[in-house]
């Protein structure tokens, strides 16, 4: 799916080029489609005004409702792990700003993205539509239950930290599908990859990361 070709200041385009070269390629992300998507999506449109000047910095940034937009490298790394070729139906848990979903829209056939906070879901939907993307649906709900009505998914990506792998997400993976999810404590997780091959579930651990908590029936309990 292509994005609306908007005129934007060269400055942002240059900053994205530098972000991809210095933060993403330099750390070993190689998939040319992922690199191109990271060069294409205007990350600054997903960042609140107060932090916009830092949109292309090598860091996560605060968004509304005490949540975050993930570090660009982590977005690219997790996306590469999904090994998307272009024809997949993908589920994202944790729409947040919608940035990760925009990247996925450029790389897969259709993207379902779930967000538990209604106001975030609504602004993510508006941003994605504003870019001319149409191969997505933003759903409000508890993503630890997955989205069974549209399963199976060739790829599932969870962008919040889980105490354990939610079993319904594994259930909703297609044969040959991949789930990428941060699993661990509330303060430090391991990026975990689960491959479903027939009856076999193969789990591997790829490295450390820090995400806001995945809150829900098969995640952390809500403190509010
Ligand atoms: N992918 C997002 C982006 O590109 O901006 C960043 C996601 S942010 C790190 C984590 C998001 O997960 C938050 O917006 C949070 O509200 C959401 N979240 C936490 N638990 C959830 C759940 N059970 N279902 C859906 N969304 C959840």
pLDDT in tens, 83-122: 999 999 999 999 999 999 999 999 999 999 999 999 999 9
> Alpha-carbon distance 153 to 171, whole Å?
10
Homologous superfamily of the 10-209 domain (CATH): Vaccinia Virus protein VP39 (3.40.50.150)
Would the pTM count as exceeding 0.85?
A: yes
For residue 10, is pLDDT > 80?
A: no
> Is residue 55 among the annotated active site residues?
no
Tokens for 185? Answer: 């404590």
Determine whether the shortest distance from the Cβ of 189 to ligand 1 is under 6 A.
Answer: no
Burial class (CB in 10 A: 0-12, 13-18, 19+), 202: exposed
| 10 Cα–ligand 1 center, Å | 31
pLDDT in tens, 35-65: 999 999 999 999 999 999 999 999 999 998 9
Determine whether the shortest distance from the Cβ of 166 to ligand 1 is under 6 A.
Answer: no
């Amino acid at each position: 799916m292509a994005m609306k070709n908007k005129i934007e200041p060269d400055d942002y385009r240059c900053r994205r080029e530098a972000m991809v070269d210095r933060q993403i390629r330099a750390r070993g992300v190689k998939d040319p489609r992922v690199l191109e998507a990271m060069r294409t999506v205007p990350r600054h449109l997903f960042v609140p005004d107060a932090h916009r000047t830092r949109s292309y910095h090598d860091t996560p940034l605060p968004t509304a409702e005490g949540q975050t937009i993930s570090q660009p490298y982590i977005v690219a790394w997790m996306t590469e792990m999904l090994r998307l070729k272009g024809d997949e139906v993908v589920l994202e848990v944790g729409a947040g700003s919608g940035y990760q979903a925009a990247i996925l829209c450029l790389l897969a056939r259709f993207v379902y993205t779930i967000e538990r906070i209604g106001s975030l879901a609504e602004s993510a939907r508006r941003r994605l539509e504003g870019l001319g993307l149409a191969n997505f649906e933003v759903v409000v709900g508890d993503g630890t239950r997955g989205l069974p009505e549209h399963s199976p998914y060739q790829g599932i990506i969870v962008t919040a930290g889980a105490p354990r792998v939610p079993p319904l997400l594994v259930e909703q993976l297609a044969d040959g599908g991949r789930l990428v999810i941060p699993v661990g404590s509330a303060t430090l997780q391991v990026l975990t990859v689960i491959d479903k091959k027939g009856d076999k579930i193969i789990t591997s651990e790829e490295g450390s990361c820090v995400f806001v908590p995945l809150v829900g029936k098969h995640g952390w309990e809500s403190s509010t």
